[in-house]
Amino acid sequence: METDCLFCKIVNGEVPSLKIYEDEFTFAFLDIHPINRGHTLVVPKEHHQNIYTVPQSVFQHVMDTVRILAPKIKQAVAADGINIGINNETAAGQLVFHLHAHIIPRFNDDGHAHWHGNPYQTGEIETIKDIITQEFK
């Protein structure tokens, strides 16, 4: 429990939320500013800032809950698909620094664009592969 963390306060009931699921390790509630109806956040009850600091077992519990909830939310709001996302650090759009997975229902006509990709320059993809795999050595 981090005293100044919004999602810790939601988990312990200090800040109200619309809870849709809870188990021993995780808590899921509706995002107050949804991308689409049914947009849900899944958080570990333990405070961890992001993907770099979360222990494996805690992360697994979060993903287990995401897997349970995604098809139920899809069914409940009659979505056509689901995005799962985790933002890590400000550059990636993280606003609340308590790890959370977004479950975002998607609709064929919802107007949200897919990621905009860009092509690599010639030879660049091989270089990127090399510099990433170096990190494992």
Q: Which residues bind ligand 5GP (CB under 6 A)?
A: 6, 17, 29-33, 41, 87, 93-96
* SS percent in the chain: helix, strand, coil, step 5: 30, 20, 50
100 catalytic, yes or no?
yes
Distance CA 22, CA 31 (A): 15
**Burial class of residue 83 (count of CB atoms within 10 Å of its CB; 0-12, 13-18, 19+):** middle
Q: How far is the CB of 108 from ligand 5GP (least distance, A)?
A: 22
d(CA 121, CA 119): 7
Report the nearest approach of ligand 5GP to the CB of residue 87 (Å): 4
Binding status of residue 98 toward Zn ion by CB under 5 A: yes
Amino acid at site 26:
T
In the region spanning residues 30 to 49, those forming contacts with Zn ion, defined by CB under 5 A, are: 47
How many residues bind Zn ion, per CB under 5 A?
A: 6
Looking at residue 86, its amino acid is I
Q: Indicate which of Zn ion, ligand 5GP, none lies near residue 51 (CB less than 5 to 8 Å, by partner kind).
A: none
Catalytic hit among 48, 61, 100, 102: 100
Q: Is 5 in the site for Zn ion (CB under 5 A)?
A: yes
C-alpha pair distances (Å), 58 with each of 3, 10, 97, 124 = 20, 18, 16, 36
* Closer of 83 and 87 to ligand 5GP (Cβ): 87
Min separation Cβ 101 and ligand 5GP, Å: 9
Q: Which residues are catalytic, by number?
A: 100
